[in-house]
């Protein structure tokens, strides 16, 4: 059992409400001295809210925080830093144009006659980095080093400024390869042997097992459990993260799908892009739904991005409708009848200040070219058709989209692409962050579209959802297509493939 004196920080019964959502429900968490504690969970699980509470960015509504044996209130990020809770974020918050030494020490640099004492500064910076087993030329601009080194520099600055007892690392390895991640891990091990408690947030299950001592799993704002890493099988961890959804979809039936031996609508051969996704093969037939399963960060989104030409592939080829795609670009793909519903609808899809009608018309107008203007009447016709078809809850098609709920916004985006009458539809997490009822509606819609002869690629974090809608399931792990299941397959099998090994 843990010695209570070893605990640095303990959170008990933390609740946090945002308007309309309860982000954290009665969450307990504790961090011991010198341990690496992994915090895992899918999107919307409440990880970042918990971190925000711990670093004083957000105030919690209920519960208490005990730090260093005393109950405290963390007032601001500055306050958190002063008492020894430091955070290093995924995107490096340093300046890439000035040297590593300046990044580490600017603000408390050694000075001589009012000017920076470069010699002393570089020497000290070098020593700090060497302490973390990184031997580099600190006089070079930070931007000339790899992201891993930049991350380590960010950690080093956090250590230099406040000598923290709690270090929170928010997805430090998300854009790093295995070798680079190891650099960070080495630094982490070194720090925790010096008694620093580290909270490590990541989507990479393998890394969780590689480095952490304990794991806390969150789901939907609730604490699922805290485990000793050594005694938790991967498969159990994943099922805890994904969970089981409600059983109210049972009436849904997958359309019968028989592979007609015609050519595939879309065929990717050895398609890949360095650093994003390893070369993969993928076929999509008319009337078929292909599900992409995998944990967050496993390369699901990257697959559709490469397919849709947002990121140009540097390997393999893509054949759409018997035509080899020579120039990869979203425009080209739209012209070939492919449509993409992007993952983050706020950032890359919806235009909140336009009306529903205008949002729906956008893609179809772009396809027509800006000179063949659709008449207002025609626009209303199209908009109203899809509002009805998708059951979008709104008083009129002239409503601003930002006033709609998340689920309805998602439907508007779907409508936008359906209006272009695509042959293939790529859906990246179309059900993320929307309520259960709407989720079911969207799933039903996807199935119906397939029945009518469309080919769909469906991505979701919820495994059940993928299994329910898809005829085939492609499993991604660590930016690689691992395997493909067709026909009846059990949840367990897919999870095992997602987890890898065993």
Partner 1 sequence: MQKIKSFLLKNGPLLATVAIFILVYAIGAQLYPTMKKPQVFFNLFINNGSLLIISIGMTMTVIMGGIDLSVGAMIALTSVASAALLQKNADPVFVMVLMLLMGTALGFVMGCIIHYLKVEAFVVTLMGQFFARGMAYVINESSITIKNEFYNYLALTKINLPFFEKAYVYIPTLAGIVLLIFTFILLSSTRFGRTVYAIGNNEQSALLMGLPVARTKLIVYSFSGFCSALAGIVFSISLLSGYGGYGQSMEMDAIASVVIGGTALTGGTGTVLGTLFGVLINGIIVSILQFNGTLTSWWTRIGVGALTLIFIGIQSLFYVKKKD
Q: Which residues are at the interface with partner 1 (CB under 8 A)?
A: 93-98, 102-103, 106-107, 109, 111, 114-116, 118, 140-141, 143-144, 157, 161
**What is the C-alpha to C-alpha distance for residues 36 and 322, in angstroms, rounded to an integer?**
52
Q: Tell the smallest beta-carbon distance from residue 114 to partner 1 (Å).
A: 7
If the CB atoms of residues 140 and 403 are measured against partner 1, the closer one turns out to be 140
CB 20, min distance to partner 1, A: 28
Nearer to partner 1, 103 or 397 (CB): 103
CB of 95 vs partner 1, minimal distance in Å:
4
Phi, psi (deg, nearest 5) at residue 69: 85, -5
Nearest approach in angstroms of CB 153 to partner 1 is 11
CB of 89 to partner 1, least distance (A): 9
Beta carbons within 8 Å of 135's beta carbon, 6+ residues apart: 129
Taking a C-beta distance cutoff of 8 angstroms, is the pair 140, 100 a contact? yes
Asked if 417 and 363 touch (Cβ cutoff 8 Å), the reply is yes
Residue closer to partner 1 (CB basis): 144 or 175:
144
Strand duo 266-273 + 62-67: pairing: unpaired
Measuring CA to CA, how many Å separate 79 from each of 54, 75, 86? 11, 6, 10
Minimal distance, residue 112 CB to partner 1, in Å: 10
| Two tokens, residue 226 | 């805290």
Q: In what order do the strands lie in the sheet with 277-284?
A: 277-284, 266-273, 315-320, 323-324
- Nearest approach in angstroms of CB 9 to partner 1 is 22
| Closest to 168 measured CA to CA, from 352, 17, 338, 29 | 29
* Residue 99 or 202 with smaller CB distance to partner 1: 99
Distance CA 325, CA 309 (A): 10
SS (H, E, C) 22-74: EEEEEEEEEEECCCEEEEECCCCCCHHHHHHHHCCCCCCCEEEEEECCEEECC
Question: Element (H or E) spanning 268, and its range?
Answer: strand 266-273
Question: What minimum distance in Å lies between the beta carbon of 98 and partner 1?
Answer: 5
* Contact call for residues 185 and 155 (beta carbons, < 8 A): no
C-alpha distances out from residue 39 to 30, 115, 376, Å: 11, 44, 51
Q: Of the two residues 104 and 223, which places its CB atom closer to partner 1 in the complex?
A: 104
Q: Could you tell me if 486 and 266 are in contact, meaning their C-beta atoms sit under 8 angstroms apart? A: no
Decide whether 96 or 260 has the Cβ nearer to partner 1: 96
Determine the Cα angle at 458 with ends 471 and 490, to 5°. 45
- Quick one: 160 or 180, whose CB is closer to partner 1? 160
CB of 169 to partner 1, least distance (A): 16
Nearer to partner 1, 160 or 484 (CB): 160
Q: Residue 428 Cβ, how far from partner 1 at the closest point, in Å?
A: 27
Beta strands in 141-234 (DSSP E): 166-170, 197-201, 214-219, 222-228
Minimum CB distance to partner 1 smaller for 150 or for 460:
150
- Cβ-based nearer residue to partner 1, 49 or 103: 103
């Amino acid at each position: 059992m843990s010695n209570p004196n070893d605990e640095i920080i303990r959170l008990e019964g933390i609740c946090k409400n945002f308007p309309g959502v309860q982000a954290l429900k009665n969450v307990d968490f504790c961090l011991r001295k010198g341990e690496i504690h992994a915090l895992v969970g899918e999107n919307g699980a409440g990880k970042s809210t918990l971190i925000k509470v711990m670093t004083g960015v957000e105030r919690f509504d209920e519960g208490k925080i005990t730090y260093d044996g005393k109950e405290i209130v963390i007032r601001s990020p500055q306050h958190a830093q002063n008492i020894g809770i430091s955070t290093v974020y995924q995107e490096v918050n340093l300046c890439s144009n000035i040297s590593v030494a300046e990044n580490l020490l600017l603000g408390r640099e050694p000075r001589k006659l009012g000017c920076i004492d470069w010699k002393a500064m570089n020497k000290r910076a070098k020593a700090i980095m060497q302490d973390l087993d990184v031997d580099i030329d600190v006089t070079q601009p930070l931007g000339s080093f790899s992201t891993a080194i930049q991350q380590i520099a960010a950690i080093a600055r956090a250590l230099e400024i406040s000598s923290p007892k709690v270090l929170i690392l928010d997805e430090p390895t998300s854009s790093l390869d295995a070798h680079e991640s190891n650099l960070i891990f080495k630094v982490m091990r070194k720090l925790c042997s010096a008694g620093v408690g580290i909270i490590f947030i990541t989507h990479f299950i393998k890394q969780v097992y590689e480095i952490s001592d304990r794991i806390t799993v969150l789901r939907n704002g609730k604490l699922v459990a805290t485990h000793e890493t050594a005694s938790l099988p991967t498969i159990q961890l994943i099922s805890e993260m994904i969970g089981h959804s409600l059983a109210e979809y049972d009436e849904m039936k997958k359309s019968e799908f028989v592979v007609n031996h015609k050519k595939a609508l879309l065929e990717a051969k050895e398609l890949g892009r360095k650093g994003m996704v390893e070369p993969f093969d993928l076929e999509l037939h008319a009337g078929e739904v292909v599900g992409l399963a995998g944990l967050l960060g496993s390369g699901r989104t990257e697959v559709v991005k490469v397919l849709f030409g947002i990121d140009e592939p540097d390997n393999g080829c893509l054949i759409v409708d018997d035509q080899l795609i020579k120039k990869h670009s979203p425009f080209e793909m739209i012209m070939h009848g492919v449509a993409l519903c992007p993952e983050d609808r706020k950032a890359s899809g919806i235009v909140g200040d336009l009306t529903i009608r205008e949002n729906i018309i956008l893609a179809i107008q772009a396809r027509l070219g800006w000179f063949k203007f659709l008449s207002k009447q025609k626009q209303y016709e199209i908009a109203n058709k899809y509002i009805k078809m998708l059951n979008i809850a709104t008083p009129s098609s002239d409503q601003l989209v930002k006033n709609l709920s998340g689920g309805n916004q998602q439907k508007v985006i779907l409508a936008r692409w359906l209006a272009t009458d695509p042959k293939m539809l790529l859906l990246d997490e179309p059900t993320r962050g929307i309520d259960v009822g709407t989720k079911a509606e969207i799933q039903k819609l996807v199935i119906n579209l397939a029945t009518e002869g469309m080919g769909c690629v469906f991505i979701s974090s919820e495994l059940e959802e993928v299994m329910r809608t898809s005829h085939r399931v492609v499993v991604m792990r660590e930016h690689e297509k691992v395997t493909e299941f067709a026909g009846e397959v059990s949840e367990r099998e897919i999870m095992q493939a997602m987890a890898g090994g065993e």
